[in-house]
Amino acid sequence: MMNTENKTPKIVLVTGGSRGIGKSIALHAAARGLGVILTYNAHAEQGVAVADEINGNGERAVALKLDSANIEALTDFTEQVLQVLRKEWGRENLDYLVNNAGIAQRMPIKDTTEAIFDDLVNVNFKGVFFLTQKVIPMIADGGQIINISSGLARFAFPGVAVYGALKSAYFAQPSLIESGLPDVGYFASRLNSSANYLSDLLSKYTGKSTHEHIHLKLVDKAKSLLWSTENSISEIAYDLGFEHPSHFTKVFKSKTGLSPREFRNLN
């Protein structure tokens, strides 16, 4: 990774930032003061509209065209990203890559043609891999790469054999989906502390137990997923690390007074 000294703000490249989850990521990142480069593929007007919205709010965003399936064009794309970084932020690097762009064609195995299979592979996996390969040298020290996977990496229903398999391909790192809900022991070990010490410290200074903090954070994440995606309640529960959707519903209701469905319907 490059060792260039960074000037603020941090900059994120969000693929597929023109709608859905990627749009939400772009808007939230901008609202937190990050510079945003977002991409669109077939719908330029939507990508530009998201960038306009961010710029209209006094933050900075640029929308670029990206077709992840076109591997040959990735060199030109990363060159464009570099030009934007130089022009808009006076930087040669960025901080975060969010590989969000994806297609979710649902098709029974018997009807899946080679062309459909290749489309899914090219956009959801091959393109993600080679874009990441191109962008890694542009990521500043301490930067991060975030791949948007799916609950369908963990469970399946008819029509998602190829898509689900490709989404599992991202799990090189331990994730909530694999490891379940984080507990106090997890956070304590990340902080080189003991579970008891961390619990005592949190209760003393915040009046809330670690358990309570974890649940509040998960409910926050759940709220954002309920409004920004069309994922089913079960998918959101699994994505957050709950083993049973009913446990998720119970925790959510205890913190908000509403079930996840009732909360979603407020939007």
Ligand X SMILES: NC(=O)c1ccc[n+]([C@@H]2O[C@H](COP(=O)([O-])OP(=O)(O)OC[C@H]3O[C@@H](n4cnc5c(N)ncnc54)[C@H](OP(=O)(O)O)[C@@H]3O)[C@@H](O)[C@H]2O)c1
CA distances from 102 to 62, 86, 122, 231, 262 (A): 20, 28, 10, 14, 28
Catalytic residue among 40, 96, 163, 238: 163
Cβ contacts of 200 within 8 Å, gap of 6 or more: none
- Decide whether 71 or 188 has the Cβ nearer to ligand X: 71
Cβ contacts of 206 within 8 Å, gap of 6 or more: 213
CA distance 34 to 164: 31
- Decide whether 46 or 203 has the Cβ nearer to ligand X: 46
Q: Active site includes 238? A: no
Which DSSP state fits 151?
Answer: G
Question: What is the nearest approach in angstroms of ligand X to the Cβ of residue 141?
Answer: 27
Question: What is the nearest approach in angstroms of ligand X to the Cβ of residue 119?
Answer: 8
- Decide whether 123 or 138 has the Cβ nearer to ligand X: 123
Instruction: Answer yes or no: are the C-beta atoms of 82 and 74 closer than 8 Å.
Output: no
Question: What is the nearest approach in angstroms of ligand X to the Cβ of residue 221?
Answer: 14
Question: What is the nearest approach in angstroms of ligand X to the Cβ of residue 166?
Answer: 9
- Decide whether 128 or 251 has the Cβ nearer to ligand X: 128
Residues that bind ligand X (CB under 6 A): 15-16, 18-22, 40-43, 46, 66-69, 100-104, 123, 148, 150, 229-231
153-188 burial, b for 16+ CB within 10 Å, e for fewer? bbeeeebbbbbbbbbeebeeeeeebeeebeebeebb
List residues with catalytic annotation.
Answer: 163
